[in-house]
Amino acid sequence: MNYEFQGRSLSGRSGVEDRVAFLRSVYLWLMGGFVVAGLGAIASPFIAAGLLPLTGRFFPWALFLAQFGALIWASAVSRRKPLNKVAYGVFTFTSGVIIGIVSLVTIQTAGLGTVVAAFGMTAADFLLLTVIAFVSKKDFSFLRSFVAIGIGIMFFGSLIGAIFHLETLGLMAAGVAVIACSAKILYDTSNMLRSEDLSDPAGFALSLFVSLYNILLSLMRLLSGRRN
């Protein structure tokens, strides 16, 4: 087994150890993001109670802008230690706050079972896609264009649906999001197994987290769509 890394050949045991260490680091970053997001979800009712009087009906947009800014920051500094930990933590915490608020609203409108089902389906989807990528060892880079188009449809469809209160368009965008972000998990995992650059585990973890976040919220939207 041979890998190329920073202009030199990595072979045999050394190459495998470097690759395993890189993968371990990616998933440790990802698990850390889950923990921080969980803290954000727990704190979400208190944060909402504090910010809602200040932002009023613009509260959802304020959260969205804060999360988007945190994502841009985390992406830009993913290789800069220790700033990458701070930025990653801010993004995952903000995402957790949003997940917590959406979960509470979903419980009120569609029941606790819908939220539990969405979390379970997201976890199963991630596990299945990860196993497929690791076992098949297939290069899924051919999904790049499909992922880019799908994410574009997801983003603009959700945005337009939210602005103009188009429920059907929002549900369609959620369906596209589940498919596109699932494909992105395959693409990212395949890239992790093949990439020559093993210096950015935070960047890979961030990408996986964003995909899982979008799948989770989209599944909540789809499962509760008929009841809202």
What are the domain boundaries of the chain?
Answer: 2-224
- The pLDDT value recorded for residue 132 is 97
What is the token pair recorded at 174? Answer: 């959620």
CA atoms in the 13 A half-sphere facing the CB of 175 = 7
Q: Is 1 exposed, middle or buried (0-12, 13-18, 19+ CB in 10 A)?
A: exposed
Q: How far apart are CA 145 and CA 142, in angstroms?
A: 7
Average pLDDT rounded to a whole number, residues 30-54: 96
In the chain, what is the greatest distance between 2 CA atoms, to the nearest angstrom?
Answer: 60
Do residues 78 and 203 make contact, with C-beta atoms less than 8 angstroms apart?
yes
Intra-chain end-to-end CA distance of the chain, in Å: 53
Highest mean pLDDT among 8-17, 112-121, 194-203: 112-121
**What does the pLDDT look like over 197-210, one tens digit per residue?**
899 999 999 999 99
pTM: 0.91
213: DSSP letter: H
Task: Verify cis geometry, omega within 30 degrees of 0, for the bond prior to 201.
Answer: no
- The set of long-range contacts for 188-191, using a CB threshold of 8 Å and a minimum separation of 24, is 189/129, 189/130, 189/133, 189/134, 189/140, 190/133, 190/138, 190/139, 190/140, 190/141, 191/140, 191/141
Pick the residue with more confidence: 25 or 2? 25
- The pLDDT value recorded for residue 178 is 97
Average pLDDT rounded to a whole number, residues 116-129: 98
| Pairing assessment for the beta strands 2-5 and 8-11 based on DSSP bridges | antiparallel
Q: How far apart are CA 154 and CA 206, in angstroms?
A: 18
